[in-house]
Structure 1
């Protein structure tokens, strides 16, 4: 199996005045096309792990490899390029720009890659079609339901065909029907060889993923892949 994510003995500490050992000696390998739920109580280190997987934070120690690239050795510009080309993000809050159409919101996912506006919009149309929103591309976010806005956010995350999609509580603001549809879309990415990692408190969301990794006090305490 080829691995999209490899963490080797990763720890993350935050200094005083509120010192915290957020992650402690975390080693984790996630393969191409896997769907993984990261679970655990509040304060277990889930958000810190997501930020490190997304190269938004650097570990205090240990090595982070994303799609074969040692992220721990990269400077800011190279990390930005890594995120732009290989990582898609989906959050509980949709973070759609109110003044832009859904089409142009999705196209913003390609801004750091360059290319013409025409090319970015064409890719955005394809991504919106994949999430069932082709007919809503000209609407503003306020004209869409919460479930539709989250599907648009997924389209923005996948518009550049990333190797990995990181989703932080993606169904947290949705009703059960909309949440089920969002999870179906995320699971479907595995068939396109995209790795999906979901941070969740929801046992039903976690059970929908192929693999579950549990954190407690910054450490991995269970991994269904090892069962």
Structure 2
């Protein structure tokens, strides 16, 4: 199966005044359609890893490939294009626009694609049905539960049909039952969308087909490594 994401000997060092080595010689291959949980204690480097996989940060050294394309020499503008066309992001905070309806919040995920407004809203309606919110299109975020708000955020990430969905603690602000529902929703994307999920929660991690464990900036366990 083709690789969706690849890291080869990636290091990330944050410069003085507080020098921190967040990642140390990390090599990782995530195959297309795979679901992967990245776990580890606080300070292990999980969020830094996700930021580098998502091209939000550049590594200090090493190679990052998205769908086989080396991003090392890409400009910031080119990396923005990679994010807009190939990657979707979900965070612990929902980052919804309170003045917009659920439908229009999701449609904003296509703003930078040059897609006509009517098409953006039609696609938003389709993906909201996919995440179980077909009956909430006209609601505002304040009228939704935490789990519903996270479903909207997931729909916004999916509306552009990204090859990869990157999720940073997506259940962190939810109760255990609702968090389980969100984890199941993300796990259900297997085979159609590659999912990489950062979590402290062992139950959430177990819903992903593969669990990668970090400690002190290194991968210490990866059953899926080739």
Same fold (TM over 0.5): yes
Q: What SS is found at the alignment partner of 1:72?
A: coil
1: CA distance, partners of 2:53 / 2:45: 12
Match in the other structure for 1:67? 67
Structure 1 residues 68 and 226, CA gap change in structure 2 (3 angstroms): closer
Give the gaps of 5 or more residues in structure 2: none
Equivalent residues of 1:81, 1:112 under 8 A apart: no
Give CA deviations for 1:98-127 in whole Å, capped at 9, x if unaligned.
011111110111111111111111110111
Q: What SS is found at the alignment partner of 2:224?
A: helix
1:71-150 equivalences under 5 Å are 71-150=71-150
1:23-38 equivalences under 5 Å are 23-38=23-38
2: CA distance, partners of 1:120 / 1:78: 23
Match in the other structure for 2:213? 214
Give CA deviations for 1:59-111 in whole Å, capped at 9, x if unaligned.
00001001122122211111111101110001011000101111111011111
Give CA deviations for 1:22-43 in whole Å, capped at 9, x if unaligned.
0011000000111101011111
Give the gaps of 5 or more residues in structure 1: none
**1:179 Cα offset (Å):** 1.1
1: CA distance, partners of 2:36 / 2:76: 27
Q: How many residue pairs are counted as aligned between the two chains?
A: 226
**1:226 Cα offset (Å):** 4.2
Match in the other structure for 1:17? 17
**1:209 Cα offset (Å):** 0.9
1:25-64 equivalences under 5 Å are 25-64=25-64
Match in the other structure for 1:169? 169
1: CA distance, partners of 2:173 / 2:20: 29
Give the root-mean-square deviation of aligned CA atoms.
Answer: 1.0
Q: Once superposed, which parts of structure 1, at least 4 consecutive aligned residues long, lie more than 3 Å away?
A: none
1:145-156 equivalences under 5 Å are 145-156=145-156
Q: What SS is found at the alignment partner of 1:73?
A: coil
Larger helix proportion of the pair: 1
2: CA distance, partners of 1:62 / 1:78: 19
1: CA distance, partners of 2:86 / 2:152: 19
Match in the other structure for 1:202? 201
1: CA distance, partners of 2:109 / 2:123: 10
TM-score by length of 2: 0.98
TM-score by length of 1: 0.97
